[in-house]
């Protein structure tokens, strides 16, 4: 959406859509929320959605669909093999990315499973700008390792750098030399780098790293799950890009890679996924894995209805009026919190606004999961469900010690076209209140700790009665019923 001028005040983000179907929300009183948080084992993944006012856990599979996407869902071709729905989806992807071969999969991590199963052998080293939890888990599951070589400044929370997802090219070269090219099965570049605050990577950096990989004969893989946000930032922030269309930029990016995969829960605004493969021989070498793990080659575990919605969603992802909504709301949220002195990741990226828990609750030691504690506090103090993106989301080292995350973030996702600006204002207000009462937030410890992806199913408890004290302070300011 272009910046719309206002007569009386500075521009604010303006929705370029209207709401046609709504879901009623309720705001439980604070004591109820405290109870629900305890029942959920201080893990926001374990909360029931009906107990949440603002569900900012993720943008995955919860973006609002358009009328055109819903209309598309009325014309699926239900066939086990050879579904016309599949060919429509594949052709749309080819039109956008210029890559002919498409392997469907039920979601992003399924693509990661296929790619890791195909490529990764024990002790292989996969180079990335930054890992994503499931991408890494599939590689380590097979005995591989991950090297994250994002530039150092990408991990500095307060900054005005436009592309904090850029990879350090010297470090990539040194890593390949050290490992030898044969031990690097692929280089994975993540658009809209999720775990460091949805920060974009520049086209120039993608071009340089893929050229480097090619010079060593190493395949390049783009995780395009958050591509739509990254596209917006390239157009808005990168030199020489503002006059190019989103489609042109997408094509320039796609031309750099051997393989592109995506979660359709993000890219395409519905639910699904898939892998685009440039070389016919590589496609055939991988195709057997789809019927084995996902479903037949013309649906890959997706529902045909969702596939039709995605096909429309891909087109919508190429429209600036659509893809700018998320980043503009996030920017609004980040700027206001920053003005209030709340430690947030700047500049605003895609996906959501990110609180820097290391600073926000600097009194909580990292082995008591500061971001995990803060995300629980946010639910107690506003019915807002965010997601921990820090040490809790890591897995322990082989010797059982904690692997401390380089950043402790609380992510408040802004699923696309879902929340209004007044709801965003409410979140900003409650975060500010929490910041002013941050000394009341204490740590967490595990009661039940799963070995893999522990943040999904782990059960924790508070290290003291801090949640009760926090709820009491909240009640004193807002009353019992809020």
The answer to whether 132 contacts ligand F0G (rule: CB under 6 A) is yes
Q: Which long-range contacts (CB under 8 A, 24 or more apart) does 293-297 make?
A: 293/105, 293/110, 293/113, 293/114, 293/117, 294/104, 294/105, 294/106, 294/110, 294/114, 295/104, 295/106, 296/80, 296/81, 297/81, 297/103, 297/104
User: Shortest Cβ distance from residue 109 to ligand F0G (Å)?
Assistant: 3
The answer to whether 44 contacts ligand F0G (rule: CB under 6 A) is no
Nearer to ligand F0G, 273 or 343 (CB): 273
Task: Please select the residue that binds ligand F0G; options are 43, 44, 58, 66, rule is CB under 6 A.
Answer: 58
Residue of closest CB approach to ligand F0G: 108
The answer to whether 113 contacts ligand F0G (rule: CB under 6 A) is no
Q: 9: Cβ–Cβ under 8 A, 6 or more apart, which residues?
A: none
The answer to whether 134 contacts ligand F0G (rule: CB under 6 A) is yes
The answer to whether 224 contacts ligand F0G (rule: CB under 6 A) is no
Inter-residue contact 159 to 347 (CB < 8 Å) = yes
User: Shortest Cβ distance from residue 27 to ligand F0G (Å)?
Assistant: 23
User: Shortest Cβ distance from residue 4 to ligand F0G (Å)?
Assistant: 30
Task: Please select the residue that binds ligand F0G; options are 187, 196, 218, 226, rule is CB under 6 A.
Answer: 226
User: Shortest Cβ distance from residue 381 to ligand F0G (Å)?
Assistant: 22
The angle that helices 169-179 and 203-215 make with each other, rounded to 10 degrees, is 20
The answer to whether 137 contacts ligand F0G (rule: CB under 6 A) is no
Interacting stretch for ligand F0G, rule CB under 6 A, among 5-13, 65-73, 131-139, 297-305?
Answer: 131-139
The answer to whether 194 contacts ligand F0G (rule: CB under 6 A) is yes
In the annotation, is 223 catalytic?
A: yes
In the annotation, is 261 catalytic?
A: no
Inter-residue contact 250 to 228 (CB < 8 Å) = no
**Binding-site size, ligand F0G (CB under 6 A):** 16
In the annotation, is 452 catalytic?
A: no
Task: Please select the residue that binds ligand F0G; options are 43, 63, 107, 228, rule is CB under 6 A.
Answer: 107
The answer to whether 263 contacts ligand F0G (rule: CB under 6 A) is yes
Catalytic entry in 44, 133, 193, 220: 133
The answer to whether 228 contacts ligand F0G (rule: CB under 6 A) is no
Q: For every residue of 234-246, which 3-state class applies, written as one string?
A: HHHHCCCCCCCCH
Catalytic entry in 59, 168, 223, 258: 223
Interacting stretch for ligand F0G, rule CB under 6 A, among 107-115, 169-177, 316-324, 369-377?
Answer: 107-115
Inter-residue contact 1 to 416 (CB < 8 Å) = no
Interacting stretch for ligand F0G, rule CB under 6 A, among 96-104, 106-114, 138-146, 418-426?
Answer: 106-114
Residue with tokens 């975060």, as numbered in its chain = 431
Find the length of the chain.
Answer: 482
User: Shortest Cβ distance from residue 339 to ligand F0G (Å)?
Assistant: 27
Q: Which long-range contacts (CB under 8 A, 24 or more apart) does 433-438 make?
A: 433/381, 433/382, 433/474, 433/477, 434/374, 434/377, 434/378, 434/381, 434/382, 435/340, 435/341, 435/342, 435/360, 437/381, 437/470, 437/473, 437/474, 438/360, 438/361
Compute the distance between CA of residue 247 and CA of residue 249 in angstroms, rounded to an integer.
5
| DSSP run (H or E) holding 221 | strand 220-223
User: Shortest Cβ distance from residue 192 to ligand F0G (Å)?
Assistant: 7
Compute the distance between CA of residue 234 and CA of residue 246 in angstroms, rounded to an integer.
9
Phi, psi of 30 (to 5 degrees): -60, -40
- Enumerate the β-bridge partners of residue 54: 384
Interacting stretch for ligand F0G, rule CB under 6 A, among 87-95, 103-111, 280-288, 292-300?
Answer: 103-111
SS3 of residue 175 by DSSP: helix
The answer to whether 273 contacts ligand F0G (rule: CB under 6 A) is yes
In the annotation, is 267 catalytic?
A: no
Per CB under 6 A, residues contacting ligand F0G are 58, 60, 107-109, 132, 134-135, 190, 194, 223, 225-226, 263, 265, 273
Give catalytic residues, as residue numbers: 80, 132-133, 223, 266, 389, 455
């Amino acid at each position: 959406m272009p910046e719309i001028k206002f007569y009386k005040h500075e521009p604010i983000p303006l929705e370029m859509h209207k709401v046609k179907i709504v879901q009623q929300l309720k705001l439980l009183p604070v004591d109820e929320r405290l109870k629900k948080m305890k029942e959920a084992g201080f893990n926001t993944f374990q909360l029931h959605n009906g107990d949440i006012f603002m569900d900012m856990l993720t943008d995955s599979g919860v973006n609002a669909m358009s009328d055109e996407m819903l209309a598309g869902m009325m014309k699926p071709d239900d066939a086990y093999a050879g579904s016309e729905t599949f060919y429509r989806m594949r052709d749309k992807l080819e039109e956008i990315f210029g890559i002919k071969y498409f392997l469907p999969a039920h979601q992003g991590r399924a693509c990661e499973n296929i790619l890791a199963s195909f490529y990764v052998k024990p002790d292989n080293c996969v180079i990335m700008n930054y890992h994503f939890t499931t991408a890494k888990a599939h590689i380590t599951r097979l005995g591989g390792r991950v090297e994250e070589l994002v530039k150092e400044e990408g991990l500095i929370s307060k900054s005005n750098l436009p592309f904090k997802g850029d990879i350090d090219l010297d470090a990539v070269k040194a890593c390949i030399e050290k490992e030898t090219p044969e031990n690097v099965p692929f280089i994975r570049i993540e658009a809209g780098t999720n775990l460091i605050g949805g920060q974009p990577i520049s086209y120039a950096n993608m071009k340089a790293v893929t050229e480097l990989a090619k010079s060593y004969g190493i395949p390049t893989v783009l995780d395009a799950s958050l591509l739509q946000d990254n596209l917006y930032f390239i157009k808005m922030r990168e030199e020489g890009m503002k006059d190019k269309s989103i489609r042109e930029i997408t094509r320039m990016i796609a031309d750099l890679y051997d393989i592109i995969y995506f979660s359709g829960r993000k890219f395409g605004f519905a639910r699904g996924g898939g892998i685009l493969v440039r070389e016919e021989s590589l496609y055939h070498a991988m195709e057997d894995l789809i019927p084995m793990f996902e479903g037949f080659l013309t649906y890959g575990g997706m529902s045909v209805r969702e596939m039709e919605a995605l096909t429309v969603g891909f087109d919508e992802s190429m429209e600036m009026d659509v893809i700018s909504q998320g980043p503009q709301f996030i920017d609004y949220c980040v700027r206001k919190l920053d003005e209030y002195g709340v430690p947030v990741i700047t500049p605003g990226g895609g996906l959501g606004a990110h609180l820097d828990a290391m600073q926000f609750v600097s009194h909580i030691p990292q082995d008591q999961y500061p971001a995990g504690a803060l995300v629980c506090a946010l639910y107690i103090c506003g019915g807002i469900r965010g997601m921990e993106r820090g040490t809790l989301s890591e897995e322990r080292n082989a010797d059982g010690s904690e692997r401390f995350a380089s950043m402790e973030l609380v992510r408040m996702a802004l699923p696309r076209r879902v929340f209004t600006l007044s709801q965003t204002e409410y979140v900003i207000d409650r975060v500010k209140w929490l910041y002013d009462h941050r000394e009341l937030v204490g740590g967490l410890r595990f009661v039940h700790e799963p070995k893999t992806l522990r943040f999904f199913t782990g059960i924790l408890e508070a290290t003291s009665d801090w949640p009760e004290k926090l709820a009491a302070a909240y009640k004193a300011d807002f009353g019992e019923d809020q």
